[in-house]
Amino acid sequence: MTNFTATVESPVGRFGVEGTEAGVTQVLLPTDRPRASAGRAPAPVASAARQLAQYLAGERRGFDLDLAEVAATDFQRDVWAALAEIPYGEVRTYAEVAVAVGRPLAARAVGNANHHNPWPVVVPCHRVVASNGLGGYGGGDRVKRYLLSLEGVSL
């Protein structure tokens, strides 16, 4: 199956949702420079793009999507599951996520797992911050600050 990309505009740039009939394979951040595919989006992609647009408009706080299976380690899957449990409008530190997945000394590894999260925003790695401030983000500080601000979080 070929991946289809739908795009969603935002004040910080164009997001993309990639996937097939089987589910969403990836959410692309504006720094990834997503480009829309021609034709009609498969249902999971169209639904995800619609939900992402609603989230970015401040009209949605969570996602109900079909996520495709992706290659990942057990640790990455554990981290991504922990990220999905962080409520809208709240943040956790990398160390707190490490404790949540039973690896209290693995804060840096949590950051690495976040970096490999194929579904940013949907699996909210932007809600993970450093103990002394913002921390890193694959989409850059501007996008992370925008997403947190959208949720009412200021750092």
- Which residues are tagged catalytic? 125
DSSP state of 126: G
Report the largest interatomic distance among the alpha carbons of the chain, rounded to a whole angstrom: 47
Other beta carbons within 10 angstroms of residue 85's beta carbon come to: 10
Angle at 142 between CA 137 and CA 145, to 5 degrees: 80
130: β partners = 133
Angle at 67 between CA 61 and CA 37, to 5 degrees: 95
